[in-house]
A = this chain, B = another copy of it.
């Protein structure tokens, strides 16, 4: 690939972060912008917590907990134990090291910094090269409609462990939220080489980004190829509630159903080789389809998948 590249990745937490890490190993820092879902963000214990941004930041900084894919490696739990002792809300685990990020972010936001400025400052302090860009500087809150009522995302995801069957989602504040101007500028940039929709949860990781005013249209109008990577592997989600949500929504947990959500905006689709049975149907839905191993168990896998997707994106022109 001659010359400088300009790649935009859209992602949520763990799965998307893995692909972003792979991309960061191939691309120069200034070639990659990672736009991250902020619909999971919430206020907790007086702190502003941004789970997806943090997962991407820790992953790219090389300090993510390798066992969970989120939080920090070699973490300690003194804070949480003491908080429990004080009768505080302890359903959302915050490690001692991780907590420093939330406290520092909350302080910086309180001092007037925008989420994107604060995110950049923290990423820089942790030595992250590529730009991690919140989808918006305005608050958006993913709400999960379940048979037990509507739950804020982290209450559904962490406190209720994704147990209540879901019937739908909405994004509180989305209508008045503005997509980050740099996201819209990148999508309108004629020198952009590709947009990659990472293998993240389509409902609660990618849809908030796509639902920001103007983003779906901008992706549709985008000169660069838009490539989506299926989060489904062998009819299941690698991690998280994607497949469970699809079943509860009356959708088959297949790449076909994932592509349906992106069909109006993507030029290419990447599915896992374990879902090869879907290939023929996918080919009727989108111009370019690539089959590969999307399971990113090792760093080598992540880099290999990132390379395969970048190569594929060139052929989607």
Q: Check B107–A79 contact: CB distance below 8 A.
A: no
- Note all chain B residues with C-beta closer than 8 A to A27: none
Q: Check A88–B104 contact: CB distance below 8 A.
A: yes
Q: A88-B107, A107-B46 are in contact. Are A101 and B82 (CB under 8 A)?
A: yes
- Note all chain B residues with C-beta closer than 8 A to A107: 45-46, 88
A86 within 8 A of B: yes
A125's partner among B87, B98, B106 (CB-CB below 8 A) is B87
Q: A46-B107, A103-B88 are in contact. Are A97 and B125 (CB under 8 A)?
A: no
Protomer copies: 2
10 A/B residue pairs, CB under 8 Å, sorted by A: A46-B47, A46-B106, A46-B107, A72-B82, A75-B78, A78-B97, A80-B100, A81-B97, A86-B100, A86-B125
A79's partner among B81, B85, B87, B100 (CB-CB below 8 A) is B100
A47's partner among B76, B85, B87, B103 (CB-CB below 8 A) is B103
A46's partner among B86, B99, B110 (CB-CB below 8 A) is B110
Not counting A79-B79, A82-B99, A85-B126, a sample of 19 additional A-B residue pairs whose C-beta atoms are within 8 angstroms of each other reads: A46-B106, A46-B110, A47-B103, A76-B96, A78-B78, A78-B100, A79-B97, A79-B99, A79-B103, A81-B97, A82-B97, A82-B101, A83-B100, A85-B125, A86-B101, A86-B125, A87-B104, A99-B99, A99-B103
Q: Check B47–A86 contact: CB distance below 8 A.
A: no
Q: A88-B104, A103-B45 are in contact. Are A82 and B96 (CB under 8 A)?
A: yes
* A binding-site residues for B, Cβ under 8 Å: 45-47, 72, 75-76, 78-83, 85-88, 95-101, 103-104, 106-107, 110, 121-122, 125-126
A104's partner among B83, B97, B121 (CB-CB below 8 A) is B83
Instruction: State the 6 A-B residue pairs at the shortest beta-carbon distance, nearest first.
Output: A78-B96, A82-B100, A83-B100, A82-B97, A96-B96, A88-B104
| Docked pose: A78 CA to B82 CA in angstroms | 14
| Docked pose: A46 CA to B45 CA in angstroms | 11
- Note all chain B residues with C-beta closer than 8 A to A101: 82, 86
| Docked pose: A101 CA to B122 CA in angstroms | 25
| Docked pose: A121 CA to B99 CA in angstroms | 23
Q: Check B106–A88 contact: CB distance below 8 A.
A: no
Q: Which residue of chain B lies nearest to A99 when distances are taken between CB atoms in the complex? A: B79
| Docked pose: A82 CA to B88 CA in angstroms | 23
| Docked pose: A20 CA to B47 CA in angstroms | 34
Q: Which residue of chain B lies nearest to A72 when distances are taken between CB atoms in the complex? A: B82
- Note all chain B residues with C-beta closer than 8 A to A97: 78-79, 81-82
- Note all chain B residues with C-beta closer than 8 A to A104: 45, 83, 86-88
| Docked pose: A45 CA to B99 CA in angstroms | 12
- Note all chain B residues with C-beta closer than 8 A to A95: 78
Q: Which residue of chain B lies nearest to A77 when distances are taken between CB atoms in the complex? A: B96
| Docked pose: A86 CA to B98 CA in angstroms | 11
- Note all chain B residues with C-beta closer than 8 A to A46: 46-47, 103, 106-107, 110
